[in-house]
Amino acid sequence: MSTTAPNPTKLTEVRTDMEAAMIVAVLEEHGIDAFLTGEFTSGFRAEAPGNVNVLVGDTDLVKAQQILREFRTQSDSESTNKDEQSGQSFRDICRALVVVGLIATALSMIIRLATLAIGEL
C-alpha cells in the first residue's frame, strides 16, 4: 500500500511571519498540517518586501479555507471591539482634559481676582 503526501497548496499570503504563525496554529488546532514559505524574507524592508505563504495539503484546502474565514471574522470582530473601546477611552480622556482645563482657568481667575482684591485693601 503506497501513501503519498498531499500536494502543498497555498491557502493564503500574509505580510508577517507572526500572522502566518497564528494561522498555522489555528489550523493545527483543527488537525490540519500547515507550513510556511517566505518567512525569512517577510521582515525585510527593501524595494520588494517578501510575504509569507501558508500552505496546506490539497486535500485539506476547503476545510482550511473555512477555518481561515472563521478565524479572520473572529479577529476582525475583536479588532472592531478594541477600536471601539480605545475610541471611547480617547473620548473620555479628551473630556477629562477639557474639565481639567476649565478648572485651571477658573482657579486662575479666582487667584487673579483675589490678588486684585488684596491689592485694593
Question: What domains are defined for the chain?
Answer: 8-85 (3.30.70.1530)
Whether residue 106 is predicted with pLDDT greater than 70 in this model: the reply is yes
What pLDDT does residue 5 have? 53
Q: With cut-offs at 50, 70 and 90, classify the pLDDT of residue 49.
A: low
Q: What is the mean pLDDT of residues 52-68?
A: 94
Cβ(51)–Cβ(15) below 8 Å:
yes
Query: Of the given ranges (25-29, 45-49, 82-86), which has the lowest mean pLDDT?
Result: 45-49
What pLDDT does residue 48 have? 53
Q: Cα separation of 9 and 100, whole Å?
A: 59
On whether the pTM is more than 0.75, the answer is no
